[in-house]
Chain A
Amino acid sequence: MSEGDVQTIELDSPPSLTSLYARAVVAPVLPGGRDELPDRRLELRGAEMEAEHVAAYSRVCGFGVRSVVPGTYPHVLAFPLQMSLMTERSFPFSVIGLVHIANRIDVLQPIPMGSSVDFAVWAEDLREHRRGRQFDMVAEAEIEGATAWRGRSTYLRPGGGSDSPRSDGDEEREPAGELSVSAEWDIPGDIGRRYAAVSGDRNPIHMHSLSARLFGFPSAIAHGMWTKARCLASFEGRTPETFTVEAAFKSPLRIPGKATLRSGRRDGGWAFRLESPDGERAHLIGSLRG
C-alpha cells in the first residue's frame, strides 16, 4: 500500500461496538465492496489508559494490577476501530463469517497506567490461505510520537481455498508432549459476558449458549483474545518489559469448560499451548519472547 493513496480518518471518540455489530448483521444484504482491502486508516488520538478500567480488565484476565498495562490490554481499545473498518461498505468481506485465526502483539515499550495513547488501525496483506483468504488488521499505539505497541490480528474468510502449500503457519503445531502441564483451568460459563463487559466485544457467540446457537455454535465460546490474555497472565513475573506474544487460535473453547495449559522454554522465551483436558484439541498455540 503506497503511502500516497492512504486515506486517514481521525475519530473523535471510539466507535460503539454495539452499533457496529448491528451494522455487521445488516451488511451482508447490502451491496458488497470491491475485492481488495480499503486503503483507509482510522485514527483515535488521546485514548486514556484509565486505571479503573485496566484494573477491571486485569481481574477478568488474571493479571495483577501494575503500573504498566497488560500487553494485551491495548487491543480492547483498538478493536472497535478494527470493527469499524471491517463493517464499512467498502470492506470486501462481511465480518460475520470471518474467523480470527491468529494474533501477534509486540510491546515495544511499557505503557504506563494513566498514559494517553494514539491509535491507528488499518487492514493489509490480503493473501491466500489453504481454507480461503486471509488478511491482517493492524493496530499501532503511539505514546508521544513513539510506537509503543503493535497488534496484528489475522482473519480468515473461509471458502474457495487455494489448497496452496501451507504458508500460513498452521503447521507450527508444537508436539504437545514436549510442553509440560502448568495449569488446569476451570473456565466459568460467564467468562464471555465478563470479558464482554471489559472489552466491549459483545459478539453473541460469547455471551450465552442460546445466542451462540443462533450462529451455529453448540454452546457459547470464550473470546480468543481472552484466552490469549489469560495465557499471557500466567507468565506474570516471567514477562520481560518489552516482548512479543503470538497466538494461533485453533478450535473454539466452549464455556463453561476445562482447559489445560502447557508451557516450556523455547529459544530464550516460552512456548505454550492451551488444549482440551484430553489433549485431543488445541485451542491456542502461542509463544512469548523478549
Chain B
Amino acid sequence: MSPPDRRPVAILGGNRIPFARRDREYAGASNQDMLTAALDGLVSRFGLQGERVGEVAAGGVLKRSRDFNLTRECVLGSALSPDTPAYEVQQACGTGLETTIHVANKIALGQIESGIAGGVDTTSDAPIELNEDLRRLLLDLNRTRSTTGRLGLVRRLRPGQVVPALPRNEEPRTGLSMGEHQAISTKRWGIGRAEQDEIAVESHRRLAAAYERGFFDDLITPFLGLERDGNLRPDASIEKLAKLNPVFGDGAGATMTAGNSTPLTDGAAVVLLSSEEWAAEHSLPVLAHLVDAETGAVDFVHGDDGLLEAPLFAVPRLLDRNALGLQDFDFYELHEAFASQVLMTMKAWEDPAFCSERLGRDEPFGSIDRGKLNVTGSSLAAGHPFGATGGRIVGTLAKLLTERGSGRGLISICAAGGMGVAAILEREA
C-alpha cells in the first residue's frame, strides 16, 4: 500500500512560560493557569486573538480529576475563539511531542489547517487523592441503602484512612522511581559520574548563553514575575556538582545526583503548526517542517531494557524509514531527563554489540557530535515539567533551524512506562 498524500506540516513558532522549581514562583498556579498563560502568549505573539484554529492538543501528567477537559478549559479561558476544539493526550514526558505529532498528522491529512500542541505540568499544585481504603469505603457507603448496612460500614473507618494518597513518581509495576530505574541502566551501561556532571554543566552554560543572546525572546512569555527558568544556574561548575551526594542508586557505584538529574518543576509550553497555505494566508513565516515521527516502547518490567531506553530503538527505526543516518543532522535534541540517559543513548548507538544484537545492524548506528547536541541547553538546566518538555524542544529546535538558515534536527524524548518519542524537523534552504 502506498502512503496517502501527505501535505507538508509547518512549524510556525513556540511559546512557553519560564519553568519554575517546585513550590517556588508558580506554587499558587494550577495546570490550567500555566497552560492558559502559555497559550495566551502564543496567541498574542502570532495575532490569533479571536481566531478559530483547527484544534489545540495538550496534556499533563499530574492532573486533578476535575481537570478532565483541561485543554478545552484553557482554550475557553484564552483569547482564542471559543469555537476552537481541544483534547488531551497523556504520554508522560512524551506528551508535548506526541500532541505535536497528532496535530501534525491531521494537518498532513488535510483534516485541519492549523493547530496548537503542547503540554503542562505542576508538581506544586499536585493532585492529592483520598486514601484508597477510605475511597472504597465511601463508595460502598453510597451504594448501601439500609441504616444497619451503613452502620456496619462505618465500623470499617480507621484513623489511618485520613492520610491522603500523594502522587508518586514511581512505576506502578515495579515500585521503582524513574531515577532508581535509570540508576540501574546507568550502572549497566557503565556511565561515570564525571561525564554526567559535564553534561549538566554544559546544559546550564549553554542555556544561560542562549538567554544572554536573546534566543528565547520570542519563545518565552514571562509569568508571575519569572523571566528565566528558575532552575538555571549559569555559574554551575564541575567542582560544585562534584560535591553533591548521589540520590539514586546504591553504594559506591552510585553516580546520579540532584545536579545531573532533572528537578521537579512547574511550567507549560505550546507550539503553533499549520499547513503551508494557512501560514501564507496569515503572513507567518515557516520556521521548519515536521518531517516524520516515531513512538516506541520497551518491556522494562520483565525484558532486558531499562525504563528510559525506548528511544534507543525508536530513533533508528525513524531514521531507517526516512533513509537517514545518524550523522545527517545539524542539531540533536536529546531530552536530558538525566545526564546518564543522554550518555547511555549515545553509548548504545556507538556500541557494536548492542547495535548488532538489539538493532540488527551490521555497523554501529553512529556517534553524535557533541557540538551539535542540545546547543541551547536542555532539561537539566531548564527543568522538566513533564508534559511541557516536548513543546519546549520543538519550539527551540525550529528556531535553531531558522537561525541556521537550513538544516535538519532530531528530537528524542524518553518517557515513563518504558516509552520514547522521536521526531525529525527540517528547514529547506
Contact = CB atoms under 8 A, between A and B. Distances in A.
A64 B33 contact: yes
Given A55-B28, A236-B76, A237-B82, A64 B223 contact: no
A8 interface: no
A113 B33 CA distance: 14
B28 A64 contact: no
Contact of A114 (B28, B32, B78, B225): B225
B361 to A, nearest CB: 50
Contact of B77 (A51, A52, A64): A64
Contact of B224 (A51, A56, A238): A51
A67 B82 contact: no
A237 B51 CA distance: 12
Contacts of A66: 33, 36-37, 40
Contacts of B40: 66
A155 to B, nearest CB: 33
B30 interface: yes
B29 interface: yes
Interface string A215-246: 00000000000000000000011100000000
Contacts of B77: 64, 236-237
A53 to B, nearest CB: 10
Nearest to A52: B28
Interface in B78-97: 78-80, 82
Nearest to B81: A237
A180 B82 CA distance: 17
Given A55-B28, A65-B224, A236-B76, 12 more contacts: A51-B25, A52-B28, A55-B29, A64-B36, A65-B29, A65-B33, A66-B37, A67-B221, A236-B77, A237-B76, A237-B78, A237-B80
Interface string B214-232: 0000000111110000000
A238 B36 CA distance: 13
Interface of B: 25, 28-30, 32-33, 36-37, 40, 75-80, 82, 221-225
Nearest to B44: A241
A14 to B, nearest CB: 21
The 6 A-B residue pairs with the shortest CB-CB distance, nearest first, are A55-B28, A65-B33, A236-B77, A237-B77, A65-B29, A114-B225
Contacts of A64: 30, 32-33, 36, 77
Contacts of A236: 76-77
A229 B25 CA distance: 25
Main secondary structure of the interface of B (DSSP, over half): loop
Nearest to B34: A65
Given A65-B224, A236-B76, A237-B76, A51 B37 contact: no
A185 B76 CA distance: 18
A236 to B, nearest CB: 4
Contacts, number: 41
Contacts of B32: 64
Interface of A: 51-52, 55-56, 64-67, 113-114, 236-238
12 contacts: A51-B225, A52-B28, A56-B28, A64-B32, A64-B33, A65-B28, A67-B37, A67-B223, A114-B224, A237-B77, A237-B78, A238-B82
A67 B221 CA distance: 10
B271 to A, nearest CB: 20
Given A51-B28, A52-B28, A55-B28, A67 B222 contact: yes
A236 B77 CA distance: 5
A236 B76 CA distance: 8
A59 to B, nearest CB: 8
Contacts of A65: 28-30, 33, 224
A114 B82 CA distance: 30
A52 B82 CA distance: 29
B120 to A, nearest CB: 13
B60 to A, nearest CB: 15
A157 B224 CA distance: 41
Contacts of A55: 28-29
Most A C-beta atoms less than 10 A away, residue of B33, B221, B222: B33
Contacts of A56: 28
A52 B225 CA distance: 12
Nearest to B27: A52
Contacts of B37: 66-67
A237 B79 contact: yes
Contacts of B82: 237-238
Contacts of B79: 237
Contacts of B224: 51, 65, 67, 113-114
A60 to B, nearest CB: 13
Contacts of A114: 224-225
B377 to A, nearest CB: 24
A56 B28 CA distance: 8
B68 to A, nearest CB: 17
Contacts of B76: 236-237
A113 B28 contact: no
Contacts of A52: 28
B36 A113 contact: no
Contacts of B33: 64-66
B11 to A, nearest CB: 25
Contacts of B223: 67
A51 B29 CA distance: 10
A67 B36 CA distance: 11
B30 to A, nearest CB: 7
A11 to B, nearest CB: 26
Contacts of B36: 64, 66
Contacts of B25: 51
Contacts of A238: 82
A273 to B, nearest CB: 20
A101 to B, nearest CB: 31
A18 to B, nearest CB: 25
Contacts of A67: 37, 221-224
B300 to A, nearest CB: 37
A238 B32 CA distance: 16
A51 B80 CA distance: 25
Most A C-beta atoms less than 10 A away, residue of B29, B80, B82, B224: B224
Nearest to B226: A67
Nearest to B82: A237
A200 to B, nearest CB: 19
Nearest to A113: B224
A51 B32 CA distance: 17
Nearest to A66: B37
